[in-house]
Structure 1
Amino acid sequence: MVAYVIVEPMEVSDAEAFQAYRPLGAAAVKAHQGLYAARGADAVPLEGDWTPQKLTLLQFPSLDLARGWYDSPEYRAARAVRAGAARLRLVAFDGTGG
């Protein structure tokens, strides 16, 4: 049962701190069996009023592993580095339509 996490960067106020966060976040994704299906991809709005500039799509073997990644000590440490440097939107969902 595959799961996905969509990440939308909303605002980056400290590019240097955000760059320091990225490898920490990537290591946490890998440590929790996740992978990047797309990273920093340009978004092309097709319908509605959602107009993100860039999107990242993470894939995990299950929604439980995605949740475990987000709540993990590794990703909490990455989020601490990102704190005050960038605001993101993240949403996880079951990719099987479950």
Structure 2
Amino acid sequence: MRLVVFNNNFIDYLNVKKINNKNMSAYAILDLEVFDTEKHLEYKNLAPGIIEKYEGKILIRGGESVVQEGEWNPQRIVVIEFPSYEKAIEWSNSEEYQKAIELRKKGAKTNAIIVNGV
């Protein structure tokens, strides 16, 4: 067994490799500014089925938020968890979701990122 030293602790090399591999969750984080509620509702009704197809889980969907620092003024935050970064990218690039994005653009201005978990 190969060991790695991290902060003066011994860690099993296989576990370190697993942590740095595809076994970590990834998150899609969207900040939406809705300007057409009807179009946004169409997107909102369509998106969950596509998200589920790619093993995603909506964690946050427009809950109350408060800015703690900086000049960011989010309007509607959505956070979606995926089992891996690869699965999140697959969802984002899927034909089904690309069609949903076109619909979303008719009802909301969006900033979005996908980020690996720790």
Tell me if both proteins adopt one fold, taking TM over 0.5 as the criterion: yes
Alignment partners' CA distance in 2, 1:78 and 1:71: 11
Alignment partners' CA distance in 1, 2:105 and 2:31: 15
Q: Quote how far apart the aligned CAs of 1:83 are.
A: 2.8
Instruction: Report whether the alignment pairs 1:30 with 2:42.
Output: no
Residue number in structure 2 paired with 1:74: 96
Q: Quote how far apart the aligned CAs of 1:73 are.
A: 1.3
Asked whether the 8 Å contact 1:13–1:85 carries over to 2, the reply is yes
Residue number in structure 1 paired with 2:27: 4
Deviates more, 1:46-55 or 1:60-69: 46-55
What are the ranges of 5 or more consecutive residues in structure 2 without an aligned counterpart? Answer: 1-23
Q: TM-score, normalised by structure 1?
A: 0.89
Q: TM-score, normalised by structure 2?
A: 0.75
Residue number in structure 1 paired with 2:13: none
Alignment partners' CA distance in 1, 2:27 and 2:91: 12
Q: Percent identity?
A: 32
Q: Quote how far apart the aligned CAs of 1:80 are.
A: 2.2
Alignment partners' CA distance in 1, 2:59 and 2:74: 17
| Larger RCO (CA within 8 A; separation ≥ 6) | 1
Q: Quote how far apart the aligned CAs of 1:71 are.
A: 0.7
1:9-88 correspondence runs (5 A): 9-10=32-33, 12-88=34-110
Q: Quote how far apart the aligned CAs of 1:53 are.
A: 2.7
Alignment partners' CA distance in 2, 1:21 and 1:64: 23
Amino acid at match of 1:2: S
Q: Quote how far apart the aligned CAs of 1:77 are.
A: 1.6
Alignment partners' CA distance in 1, 2:76 and 2:104: 17
Identify the match of residue 112 of structure 2 among 70, 90, 96: 90
**Which structure has the larger Rg?**
2
Q: Moved runs in structure 1, 4+ residues, more than 6 A? A: none
